[in-house]
Chain A
Amino acid sequence: MAEIMHGRKALSSNPLKSSAPLGASLAYLGMAGSVPLLHGSQGCTSFALTLAVRHFKEAIPMQTTAMDEIATILGGPSNLEEALLNLTKRMKPSFIGIASTALVETRGEDIVGALKLIVAARPELQGVKIVYASAPDYDGAMEDGWSKATAAIVEALVEPAEGAAAASPFVNLLPGVNQTPADIEELVELIESFGLGVVVLPDISGSLDGVVPDAYTATTFGGTTVQQVAGMSRALHTIAIGEHMRRPAEILRDRFGVAGTLFPTLTGLEPNDRLISLLIALSGRPAPARLRRQRSQLVDAMLDGHFHFGGRRVAIAADPDQLYGLSMVFGGMGAEIVTAVSSTSQSPLLARVPAAQVVVGDLSDFEDLAAAAGAELLVTNSHGRQAAERLGLPHLRVGFPIFDRLGTAHRRLVGYRGTRDFIFDVANIVLANLPHHHPEDFARIPGEEAHDGHAVAATH
């Protein structure tokens, strides 16, 4: 079990994490007809928006309450009110998700109370559902913001179930911030293949999946509808992915009586087997033939792929849940996690990462540790590209942001098929970087102590 190390540095170099308000905004983008609104100064929205656009390569609606210095010092909710009115008038959203930022949290203000008054006083806002989550930048990272926003949506919009059960049975699916639109599509298809319906929250597979609509929309043009959220209390069950989705799942269970199952990760054979068992139990149906075939393909991929994982020295840096999920796959295929860096310390999963140590730190820690440990592969977001260049190592891009590769939204990492594809991706990187062997690689003078090297003879 990993020992968790906290850095004591005052200087963060090459930040690994993206901010919590950005994570919250992405969750709000999974709602239909939505506009995320950051309560803070204009720059915070501008930076978050630019980064999100670089990642998704999509136009993204995101607004700001534009707190300038005077508004911040004087305080008071007038900017918030003005922003809600302006953006309702201009963009006609059906949903506005507000996230606070470090600035307004530092000033300290009763935003929840103010919001109630604004909504009550303003008839123009009646048609819009407005949800608020506190997500200061100085607390946690993307996973935390995403979780807080999802929890806020559940708290505000789910309505208690009354009367008979839903006519056609369905489950709630709560993807984490690490799931791509393709991941969500994969899981929906999987659940539907058992004859079950599914409500996804937040559903960025409808809003950030890179389609070309026939008309212009100022808000998101897909995603979970307010009505769908309202009915989540009538679900058979909730499936949540990632430890950071525990809170919204618990609200659904404790307040609305919907039992749930939390999967720390859905990459890998074992977690997917558990998911399928659950779906068999929930639906009372056998697994479709297609799934059996997919499982068999994954097993075959693991057989072919394990040669290229075995003994590989891998360095991973990510938000905690993603770090856990990835390290379980690498570790489970025989790779050695020589460096594990987490952006925050806020997940109980960190202790279960199959590595000697998990360092809570940044990408310069990652670079230094990976170099010292003789890592052969770097696994982190695009911000790791400078480290990869300097160390001359292959770099598998995962997580957020990925701004220097295309197709991120369509990369699938969950399910039997997603795991299969991931194994091939990694194996191909290893194959592309296989060293050519020279006599010196094997040059040990018989009878003397072997020199201490990291080289592992590759198996072809």
Chain B
Amino acid sequence: MGQNLHTRIADIFNEPGCDKNVAKEEKARKKGCSKPLTPGAAAGGCAFDGAKIALQPITDVVHLVHGPLACEGNGWDNRHASSSGPMLYRSGFTTDMTEMDIVMGSGEKRLYRAIKEAISKHNPPAVFVYATCVPALIGDDIDAVCRHASEKLGTPCIPVNAPGFVGSKNLGNKLAGEALLDHVIGTHEPGAMAPNSVNILGEYNLSGELWQIKPLLDALGINLHASITGDARYHLVASSHRAQVNMMVCSTALINVARKMQERYGIPYFEGSFYGISDTSEALRQLATLLVGTGTDAGLIARTEALIAAEEARAWARIAPYRARLRGKRVLLYTGGVKSWSVVSALQEIGMEIVSTSVRKSTDNDKLKIKELMGGDAHMVDSIPPREMYATLKRGDADIMLSGGRTQFVALKARTPWLDINQERHNAYAGYDGMVDLVHALDRAISNPVWSDLRRPAPWDDAPSLSLAAE
């Protein structure tokens, strides 16, 4: 990998669009935002993991992982990013490097042959090639192999230089964005663009959430050109530089892409969320405003307001029956990927009480928003050790925990309702309908009669009784 990648990482840490960074002193900024990990007390995926997450929803290409087995062998087909068409992205491709490749230094040759085999078997519009730690350590130059293969084989080969050991998942997201900026975005000129075209950045279409949003955009005559990346097609991403507006949904994940697309192509962007009713409305408003600012007729604003009014009324009417059942119920919110504040405001909208929320992956801006929403930071926690989390739940301090799969069993073993709101989840909660679905899901989880049954003492813990026969 060499100097290139390091310059790149330094650049990312200098990202002016990242609000965490701008607040820092020059010196602190140079050090970067990756906290050094604590050996023996670390959790979370590597940069390669993050890069793959960000790019895999390009559904019609081959995603080829260069490295020994574990990087892809243990991780493929593990998410629910949905596709409306091609299924190629769900296959796992790896060079499965052997000891021989490592000792003999034949990794680059193997990679080239693997690219060739993938193209001849699947004929994809592009091959994305991911570096991992071992080839990076022994100096395999995936950029050169990709350049050579693109030329020789006539299919674009995109090097994604984010070997795991350079840092966290979040850094990997950004490096993936850099790969798109360098090798994909702007490489394809579309014929005619549909009017009012926008891109959405950082939306992976998990469980089909994009499809909860798209009808709203369709109703307003807004054309979703490329989702970068969710249910994405290669040539749409490659021509995404012709869209009018970018919306960035996942906090800081692809901020570098949004900012550089603005710089290079003059595409304005804003940051928004489709979680929660008012956030969804706000996002639609901003989209409309920016579109009008870039030439769309001003009537869009009024049409947007009308749609918002109708959709909000409909959503609240559908939520109403659950409001009474959920009001005052206490939630322990422990999330990583989804912005805490948007979930906080969503839950508050239906009258639930937030016991505490984690802000371990939130930006300063996010934290401010949460503080505002919750009236202080008393309940903001960085991370909760599992032992404490278990104790909290066992004491009954919360009626439900919302978190990701990693902490699922802490809640379940404490016999507490749990709902998955992270990226591995199977349910879609975006937009107005998604919010209604989330409320249904919360109610289903909390009011399931199984909980009272589960909390009954075992017969040997009860006083012995002979009265059973009477029943």
Tell me if A66 and B37 are in contact (CB < 8 A). Answer: yes
A220 in contact (CB, < 8 A): no
Per-residue B-contact encoding for A58-83, CB less than 8 Å = 1, 0 else: 11000111111100110000011011
Interface 9-residue window, one of A85-93, A230-238, A279-287, A434-442:
A85-93
| Interface-centre pick from A11, A42, A45, A69 (highest chain B CB count, 10 A) | A11
A106 located at the interface, meaning its Cβ lies under 8 Å from any Cβ of chain B in the complex: yes
Q: Kindly state the separation between the CA atoms of A386 and B335 in the bound complex, as whole angstroms.
A: 30
Report if A84 contacts B (CB, 8 A).
yes
Contact at A47–B70, with CB atoms within 8 Å?
yes
Contact between chains at B413 and A14 (CB < 8 Å): no
Inter-chain contact A43/B39, CB cutoff 8 Å: no
Give B125-174 interface residues, CB cut-off 8 Å to A.
133-134, 136-138, 163-167
**B95–A102 CB distance below 8 A:** no
How many B residues face the partner with a CB closer than 8 A?
70
The verdict on B44 contacting chain A, using a C-beta distance below 8 Å, is: yes
- With a cutoff of 8 Å between Cβ atoms, the chain B residues found around residue A428 in the complex are none
Contacts of B91 in A (CB 8 A): 13-14, 364, 386
User: B441: CB under 8 A from chain A?
Assistant: no
Q: What is the CA–CA distance of A47 and B77 in the complex, to the nearest angstrom?
A: 12
User: Is A22 a contact of B92 with CB atoms below 8 Å?
Assistant: no
Q: A19-B70, A43-B71, A218-B386 are in contact. Are A106 and B40 (CB under 8 A)?
A: no
Known: A19-B73, A65-B39, A85-B40. A11 touches B68 (CB 8 A): no
Q: Which of B40, B87, B91, B113 has the most CB of A within 10 A?
A: B40
Q: Identify which of B74, B113, B387 contacts A19 (C-beta below 8 A).
A: B74
Q: By the criterion CB–CB under 8 Å, are B114 and A10 in contact?
A: yes
- 1/0 contact string of B195-222 vs chain A (CB within 8 Å): 0000000000000000000000000000
Residues of B within 8 A of A383 (CB): 76-77, 92
Is there a chain A Cβ closer than 8 Å to B379's Cβ?
A: no
Determine how close the nearest CB of chain A comes to the CB of B242; give it in whole angstroms. 34
Binds B, one of A133-141, A158-166, A171-179, A419-427: A133-141
**Per-residue contact bits, chain A 374-394, to B (CB 8 Å; 1 contact, 0 not):** 000000000101100000000
A23 to chain B, nearest CB (A): 11
B117 at interface by CB-CB < 8 Å: yes
Residue A207, interface by CB 8 Å: no
Closest beta carbon of chain B to A268's beta carbon, Å: 30
CA distance A10 to B39 in the complex (A): 34
Minimal beta-carbon separation of A409 from chain B (angstroms): 13
Give chain B interface residues in 322-376, CB to chain A under 8 Å.
Answer: none
* Bound-state Cα–Cα, A15 to B36, Å: 32
Contact: B38 with A50, CB < 8 Å? no
B409 contacts A58, C-beta separation under 8 Å: yes
In the assembled complex, A212 has its CB within 8 A of some CB on chain B: yes
Nearest Cβ distance between residue A382 and chain B, in whole angstroms?
8
Could you tell me if B134 and A17 are in contact, using CB atoms closer than 8 angstroms?
A: no
A51 touches B78 (CB 8 A): yes
Q: Which of A11, A14, A44, A86 is close to B38, meaning CB atoms less than 8 Å apart?
A: A86
Q: Are A83 and B93 in contact (CB under 8 A)?
A: no
Docked-complex contact A37 and B68, CB < 8 angstroms: no
B394 to chain A, nearest CB (A): 8
B68, B91, B111 — which one has the most chain A CB atoms within 10 A of its CB? B68
| Interchain CB contact under 8 A, B166 and A46 | no
B39, A83: Cβ atoms closer than 8 Å = yes
Q: Which residues of A contact B136 (CB under 8 A)?
A: 69
Is A11 in contact with B137, judged by CB distance below 8 angstroms?
Answer: no
Task: Enumerate chain A residues within 8 angstroms of B408, measured Cβ to Cβ.
Answer: 59
The answer to whether B110 touches A139 (Cβ under 8 A) is: no
Taking the closest CB of chain A, its distance from the CB of B95, in whole angstroms, is: 6
Report which residue of A15, A19, A53, A362 has the largest number of chain B beta carbons within 10 angstroms of its beta carbon. A15
CB distance from A367 to the nearest CB of B (A): 10
Q: Is A191 an interface residue (CB 8 A)?
A: no
Complex Cα distance, B165 from A385, in Å, reads 31
Contacts of A47 in B (CB 8 A): 45, 49, 70-71, 74-75
Chain B contacts for A41, CB-based, 8 A: 46, 133, 164-165
Of B97-105, B177-185, B223-231, B246-254, the segment with at least 4 beta carbons within 8 Å of chain A is B97-105
Please tell me which one of the listed residues B40, B67, B110, B406 contacts residue A65 in the complex, with CB atoms under 8 A apart: B40
Instruction: Report the bound CA distance from A67 to B165 in whole Å.
Output: 7
Task: Report the nearest B residue to A386, measured CB to CB.
Answer: B90
Docked Cα-Cα span, A119 to B330, in Å, equals 46
Closest to A51 in B: B74
Q: Is A21 an interface residue (CB 8 A)?
A: yes
Q: Are A103 and B45 in contact (CB under 8 A)?
A: no
Q: Does B96 count as interface, using CB distance less than 8 angstroms?
A: yes
Q: Cβ of B73 and Cβ of A17 under 8 Å apart?
A: yes
- Contact (Cβ within 8 A) A72 B133: yes
Residue interface bits B31-66, CB-to-A below 8 A is 1, else 0: 000001111111111111100000000000000100
Q: Say if the beta carbon of A342 comes within 8 Å of chain B.
A: no
B113 in contact with A11 (CB, 8 Å): yes
Cβ-based interface call for B410 (8 A)? yes
By the criterion CB–CB under 8 Å, are A42 and B74 in contact?
no
- Contact for B78 among A54, A79, A141, CB less than 8 A: A54
Residues of B within 8 A of A296 (CB): none
Q: How far is the CB of A342 from chain B (nearest CB, A)?
A: 14
Within the assembled complex, what's the spacing in Å between the Cα atoms of A42 and B386?
19
Contact among B39, B75, B98 with A66 in the assembled complex (CB-CB below 8 Å):
B39
Bound-complex Cα distance A14 to B72 (A): 9
- Contact (A136, B99) CB under 8 Å given A51-B78, A69-B166, A216-B391: yes
- Whether A216 lies near B387 (C-beta < 8 A) is yes
Q: Give a binary string over A198-220; 1 marks a CB under 8 Å from any B CB, 0 the rest.
A: 00000000000000110010100
With both beta carbons as reference points, the residue of chain A lying nearest to B49 in the complex is identified as A43
Asked if A18 CB lies within 8 Å of chain B CBs, one says: yes
Instruction: Report the bound CA distance from A69 to B349 in whole Å.
Output: 45
Cβ–Cβ < 8 Å partners of A106 in chain B: 102, 134, 137-138
**In the complex, what distance in Å separates the CA atom of A67 from the CA atom of B134?**
12
B76 x A15 contact (CB < 8 A): yes
In angstroms, Cα B42 to Cα A14, docked, is 29
Chain A CB count within 10 A is highest, among B69, B95, B118, for B69
Who on chain B is nearest to A363 by CB?
Answer: B92
Chain B residues contacting A9 (CB-CB under 8 Å) are 114, 117
Q: CB < 8 Å: which of B67, B92, B99, B114 contacts A14? A: B92
A48 close to B (CB within 8 Å): yes
Partner of A53, one of B42, B70, B167, B406: B406
Give the complex CA separation of A72 and B32 in angstroms: 19
Q: B94: CB under 8 A from chain A?
A: yes
A101 adjacent to chain B (CB < 8 Å): yes
> By the criterion CB–CB under 8 Å, are B92 and A64 in contact?
no
Output the nearest chain B residue to A211 by Cβ-Cβ distance.
B413
- Which single member of B98, B166, B409 contacts A68 (CB below 8 Å)? B166
| Least CB distance, A299 to chain B, in whole angstroms | 38
User: Is B13 an interface residue, CB under 8 A from the partner?
Assistant: no
Query: In the complex where A53-B406, A66-B39, A136-B68 touch, is A46 in contact with B46 (Cβ < 8 A)?
Result: yes
Contact of B405 among A43, A50, A63 (CB under 8 A): A50
Residues of B close to A212: CB separation below 8 A: 413, 415
CB of B390 within 8 Å of the partner chain: yes
Does A12 belong to the interface (CB within 8 Å)?
yes
Cα(A213)–Cα(B95), bound, Å: 42
Query: Roughly how many angstroms separate A83 CA and B38 CA in the complex, as a whole number?
Result: 7
Contact with B along A19-36 (1 / 0, CB 8 A): 101100000000000000
What are 26 A-B pairs with beta-carbon distances under 8 A? A9-B117, A10-B117, A11-B93, A13-B92, A15-B72, A15-B94, A19-B69, A22-B70, A43-B45, A43-B47, A46-B46, A47-B45, A47-B71, A53-B409, A54-B78, A66-B37, A66-B40, A68-B166, A68-B167, A69-B165, A72-B137, A73-B137, A80-B39, A102-B70, A107-B137, A141-B69
Q: Which residues of A approach B to under 8 Å, CB–CB?
A: 9-15, 17-19, 21-22, 37, 40-48, 50-51, 53-54, 57-59, 63-69, 72-73, 79-80, 82-87, 90, 101-103, 106-107, 136-139, 141, 212-213, 216, 218, 362, 364, 383, 385-386
Return the 8 tightest CB-CB contacts between A and B, nearest first: A43-B46, A83-B40, A86-B40, A83-B39, A10-B113, A43-B164, A59-B409, A87-B40
